[in-house]
């Protein structure tokens, strides 16, 4: 009795396989709409915006590093002046002396 059901099962299984194959065939025949006319302009516009963003980000990141380095010296000087009473002065290498080096420390 069970064996008699086998061919029906095999046929239905085969039918599933064929319908699945047909499904994959649909992928090939499925239509793709044409490229929008505004595509090139949109790409150009988006690219400009992205580049503007990247350049602004680059500018700020570099400016931030420069600013940190620049103001770090001033902060360091402030700290040294607070604790020692003297502001660190760079030694000149051209033979001239900075006049402030000869000033007595503040009382």
Partner 1 sequence: MALDLERTTDEQLAAQAAREGSDGPAFVALVERHRDRVWRVCYRLMGNEADAHDAAQEVFVRLFVHRARFAERSKYSTWVHGIAVRTCLTLRRGRGRRQKHEAQASVLAEQATARTGDAPGLSLDLAKMLETLDEEDRALVILKYAEEYSYDELAEIFDLSVSACKMRVSRAREKIQKQYGEREC
User: Which residue ranges make up the site for partner 1 (CB under 8 A)?
Assistant: 13, 16-17, 19-20, 23-28, 30, 32-33, 35-36, 39-40, 42-44, 46-47, 50-51, 54
If we measure between CA atoms, which residue out of 84, 89, 42 comes closest to residue 99? 89
If we measure between CA atoms, which residue out of 94, 98, 96, 70 comes closest to residue 86? 98
Rounded to a whole number of angstroms, the minimum distance from the CB of residue 62 to partner 1 is: 18
Rounded to a whole number of angstroms, the minimum distance from the CB of residue 71 to partner 1 is: 32
Rounded to a whole number of angstroms, the minimum distance from the CB of residue 53 to partner 1 is: 11
What's the number of CA atoms in the CB half-sphere (13 Å) around residue 77?
A: 10
């Amino acid at each position: 009795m069970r064996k008699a059901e086998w061919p029906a099962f095999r046929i239905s299984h085969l039918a599933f396989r064929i319908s699945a194959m047909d499904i994959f065939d649909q992928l090939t025949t499925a239509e793709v709409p044409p490229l929008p006319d505004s595509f090139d302009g949109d790409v150009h516009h988006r690219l400009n915006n992205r580049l503007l963003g990247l350049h602004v980000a680059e500018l700020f990141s570099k400016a931030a590093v420069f600013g940190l380095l620049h103001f770090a010296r001033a902060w360091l000087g402030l700290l040294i002046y607070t604790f020692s009473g003297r502001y660190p002065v760079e030694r000149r290498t051209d033979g001239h002396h900075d006049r402030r080096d000869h000033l007595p420390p503040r009382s």
